[in-house]
Structures are given as C-alpha cells and as structure tokens.
Amino acid sequence: MTPTEWGIVALAVAGAFFGGVAAVGLVRLPDVYTRSHAASKSDTLGAILAIAAAALALQTGLSTAKSVFLLLFMFITNPTAAHAVARAAQDQGIEPWTADEGDDK
C-alpha cells in the first residue's frame, strides 16, 4: 500500500471511531445537554475525518473542492445546531442532570 492509501485508511478508521463514540454518547448519556455535547463534538470530528478520507481518495480538482466546502459547512453548522438544541431545551425549562448528593457509590 502507498502512503496515500495508508492515510485514507487512517482517516476513515478514525472517522468511524469518533462516529461510534458519538453514537455511544447519545445512547448512554443522561440528558439533552450532555447528549448534545456528544453529538456536536464527536460526530463533527468523525464526519470531518471521513470526508477528509474521501477527499484524499478522490484526488480530483472538483471533487476535492466540493469536499473542502462540505468540511467548512460541517464546521459551521454542527456546533450551531447543537447550540440551538441546547438553547431550545433551556427555553423549555429542562434542567441539566445533576448527581444526587446522597448518591455516593
């Protein structure tokens, strides 16, 4: 395998890993605020790494340019959407999850 192919595989595997971390975070975390955090951070990084792998694999002018624009779009929209979800939850009066003081395990 060439170094470019190794880079593509590394980016794709890293993207899949962070996508999996985001999925586990959405299932395991207790409230909308922590789930929003998991989705915005891990999912954004996973998607960006996967798109970077695709851009590196395509290596053509127009396809790579489209991938770069998609990367920029993801950098802007994913955190903005997570903020909007958290703000909507706050406006609805949803309280953040906190551990009970008597819940020492």
Predicted TM-score (pTM) of the model is 0.80
Q: Burial letters for 69-102: b for 16+ Cβ neighbours within 10 Å, e otherwise?
A: eebeebeeebeeebeebbeebeeeeeeeeeeeee
Confidence (pLDDT) at 18 = 95
Q: What is the mean pLDDT of residues 79-101?
A: 87
Confidence (pLDDT) at 103 = 58
- Give the separation between CA 51 and CA 71, rounded to whole angstroms: 7
- Give the separation between CA 69 and CA 61, rounded to whole angstroms: 12
What are the residues whose beta carbons fall under 8 Å from the beta carbon of 50, sequence distance 6 or more? 11, 12, 15, 16, 19
